[in-house]
Structure 1
Amino acid sequence: MDSDRTFRRATTLDELDAITGFSTDEGQRIGRAYRPDPSDIFISPYAKCGTTWMQQVVHGLRSGGSMAFDEITEVVPWLELAHDMGVDVNAPQVAAPRAFKSHLGWDEIPKGGRYIVVFRDPVDAMISLYRFFEGWWFEAGAISVDDFAAYYLRRGEDYWAHAASWLRQRGREDVLLVTFEEMKRNLPGVVDRVAAFMGGYDGATRAVATEQAGFAFMKRHGGQFDDHLVREARDAACGLPPGGAATKVASGKSGAEISDDIRRRFDDRWQEVMEREFGLPTYSALDQALQGR
């Protein structure tokens, strides 16, 4: 019985690793079995690489700037988690084209739709995930950034495999690859690219979508981007107490402070995977290669 269960946040990496139940096997199966229409949009970056930001861009374009949602996942469902949140992935959506959030790599995601992936510097993605989990999945101050970084590096389902799976699809007409950093540098240009990828929208619609995907606007409406519906639906299943804090609209700052050893290990992993296969020696080289493409 839940009344007899102890709900607590992790205080060690072992306890963090032991948290299960966020999604069910059945929910994963149903999401992955979804059969897309050719116009469906899947937004599938790795965790903390700009998923929510791109959801807002896509929804702003397709809806003309509607903010009539409690939380963005309500109108752009999370494919792998929808069933566990009581959402039917086959149900009509509030606007067209249909759009889904995902964190799946190319090899796992349902085929037949259109796909937008945002890449982000892996150190910054890791720091963002640390801050996102702190106070929600683990107690604030209980796990150091460097210890979390080492945990991030050894995870089986990792950033680099996800990134490589999508970079192999570069050049496909049904895949759009952008970077978080380009969105920061040139949001109007990225919105234009997304609009063209989705079939084209007039200048007024693109301007509204750009304004509503800006940091200031999303910060003012932070409660609509904070995953509170996800927490309400899944915290108890994970053994987490209610009331955890998590924010999706942070500063977006890069270059976070970590030890030289951890930074070297991130660089080594990048070179082992991304330089070896794609000839990209650094993340900056990837960012440069994808500008305006």
Structure 2
Amino acid sequence: MTVGLGRLARSVEEVGMNLGAMQEVERPNYRPYAAQPGDVFITSWAKSGTTMTQQMFHQLRMLAATGEPDMEFDDISRMTPWEDTARQNDFDMTAAQRAAPRGFKSHREYERLEPGMRYIVTLRDPHETYHSLHRFFAGYLFESGSVSMEDFLPLWLMGGPGGCDYFTHLLSWWARRDEADTLLVTYRWAVTNKPAMIRRMADFIGIAVDEAMVGQVEALTARDFMYAHKDKFDDAMIKVAMAELLGLHDLESSKVKAEGSDAREVPPAIAAQIDALWAERVAPVTGHADFASLASEIDARA
């Protein structure tokens, strides 16, 4: 049964039509998330380091449990499941995971996650996320060239599936920066100081590491390595669901790019709107006039 438009969207509104149609289909194997003590949520905002952090988390727990890394999967989000796409993917969120602790992906703010768990969050400059999300969705959720960066703002404000707007997410986790159950860093710091990030994550999830293990995880999360295995990080399960439900095949979707996103690619008028929203919503709460200032405080804490 094909639902939705039967083709890729050509406008922001049509993206919503396709995604909404997928959500309405009954899926026999779907089971919702059921909390267990010690669960870990990797819950960065869209295009803010979620995939790298999922890979880091999974390889740490697999090395600790088996002594070996694990690349025997088709989709990293099968290893750290994503509740907000589980219905479309006909996925059982209660299925056993390969090692402890259990890990789950999300783009949500704290207030809509299960309380009493552990949360790993990487924050990224909003302009960089804008460019990254636009080039990720092009050829995947909408036809390449059909939605310009100037027209993309409504989709950016939505975040990823089940998420929230960028500013709600940032303020939610900023408020929890001193909580023991939250590991909050910036994406740039995590990439630039990856051995330190690996050690911090390992300590946070209760895994003892030595220098050899840190080196292994660093290599397994390198951009070149993940790009060479990009088919494992490109939403394989969602693509299968989109082929089945929407009749869409050969979709372009690679979360791991050969080169990072560039905030300078964001049109000046859009950048000004993002900056205005920051001034209205973030600056009065945090005391930081822009992301660079806020990141400096978070990085100094790391």
Q: TM-score, normalised by structure 2?
A: 0.87
Amino acid corresponding to residue 21 of structure 1 in structure 2: A
Corresponding residue number in structure 2 for 1:42: 41
Kindly tell me: are residues 110 and 150 of structure 1, through their superposed partners in 2, closer, same or farther at Cα, counting changes over 3 Å?
A: closer
Q: Matched residue of 1:172: which SS?
A: coil
Kindly tell me: are residues 240 and 162 of structure 1, through their superposed partners in 2, closer, same or farther at Cα, counting changes over 3 Å?
A: farther
Kindly tell me: are residues 30 and 160 of structure 1, through their superposed partners in 2, closer, same or farther at Cα, counting changes over 3 Å?
A: farther
Asked if the contact 1:83/1:89 (under 8 Å) is kept, the reply is no
Corresponding residue number in structure 1 for 2:268: 260
Corresponding residue number in structure 2 for 1:72: 76
Asked if the contact 2:132/2:261 (under 8 Å) is kept, the reply is no
1:170 to 2:186 alignment:
no
Kindly tell me: are residues 256 and 57 of structure 1, through their superposed partners in 2, closer, same or farther at Cα, counting changes over 3 Å?
A: same
Moved more, 147-156 or 227-236: 147-156
Asked if the contact 2:4/2:22 (under 8 Å) is kept, the reply is no
Shift of 1:236: 4.3
Q: Matched residue of 1:144: which SS?
A: coil
Shift of 1:112: 2.1
Kindly tell me: are residues 240 and 264 of structure 1, through their superposed partners in 2, closer, same or farther at Cα, counting changes over 3 Å?
A: farther
Asked if the contact 1:44/1:51 (under 8 Å) is kept, the reply is yes
Q: Matched residue of 1:146: which SS?
A: coil
What percent identity do the matched residue pairs reach? 32
Corresponding residue number in structure 2 for 1:122: 126
Asked if the contact 1:146/1:259 (under 8 Å) is kept, the reply is yes
User: For structure 1, which runs of at least 5 residues remain unmatched after alignment?
Assistant: none
Asked if the contact 2:75/2:234 (under 8 Å) is kept, the reply is yes
Kindly tell me: are residues 240 and 16 of structure 1, through their superposed partners in 2, closer, same or farther at Cα, counting changes over 3 Å?
A: farther
The equivalent position to 1:134 in structure 2, one of 138, 160, 180, is 138
Corresponding residue number in structure 1 for 2:107: 103
Moved more, 249-258 or 117-126: 249-258
CA deviations 1:37-74 (Å, max 9, x no partner) are 1x211101111111111000100110112112122112
CA deviations 1:110-166 (Å, max 9, x no partner) are 112110011111111111111111011111111111211365348893111111111
Moved more, 164-173 or 72-81: 72-81
Asked if the contact 1:34/1:110 (under 8 Å) is kept, the reply is no
CA deviations 1:211-241 (Å, max 9, x no partner) are 101111101111111112221124544x362
User: For structure 2, which runs of at least 5 residues remain unmatched after alignment?
Assistant: 64-68
Asked if the contact 2:131/2:262 (under 8 Å) is kept, the reply is no
Kindly tell me: are residues 80 and 144 of structure 1, through their superposed partners in 2, closer, same or farther at Cα, counting changes over 3 Å?
A: closer
Corresponding residue number in structure 1 for 2:7: 8
**Cα distance in 2 for residues equivalent to 1:282 and 1:6:** 40
Amino acid corresponding to residue 281 of structure 1 in structure 2: A
CA deviations 1:144-197 (Å, max 9, x no partner) are 112113653488931111111111111110001111111232111211111111
Q: Matched residue of 2:112: which SS?
A: coil
Q: Matched residue of 1:177: which SS?
A: strand
**Cα distance in 2 for residues equivalent to 1:154 and 1:112:** 26
Q: Matched residue of 1:103: which SS?
A: coil
Corresponding residue number in structure 1 for 2:50: 51
Kindly tell me: are residues 136 and 191 of structure 1, through their superposed partners in 2, closer, same or farther at Cα, counting changes over 3 Å?
A: same
Q: Matched residue of 2:171: which SS?
A: helix
Amino acid corresponding to residue 256 of structure 1 in structure 2: R
Question: Map of 1:172-211 to 2, 5 A cutoff?
Answer: 172-203=179-210, 204-211=212-219
Amino acid corresponding to residue 181 of structure 2 in structure 1: D
Q: Matched residue of 2:84: which SS?
A: coil
Amino acid corresponding to residue 123 of structure 1 in structure 2: H
Asked if the contact 1:136/1:246 (under 8 Å) is kept, the reply is yes
Kindly tell me: are residues 165 and 241 of structure 1, through their superposed partners in 2, closer, same or farther at Cα, counting changes over 3 Å?
A: same
Asked if the contact 2:54/2:76 (under 8 Å) is kept, the reply is yes
Amino acid corresponding to residue 245 of structure 1 in structure 2: E
Kindly tell me: are residues 16 and 83 of structure 1, through their superposed partners in 2, closer, same or farther at Cα, counting changes over 3 Å?
A: closer
How many residue pairs match? The answer is 288
**Cα distance in 1 for residues equivalent to 2:71 and 2:247:** 30
Corresponding residue number in structure 2 for 1:284: 292
Corresponding residue number in structure 1 for 2:90: 86
Q: Matched residue of 2:110: which SS?
A: coil
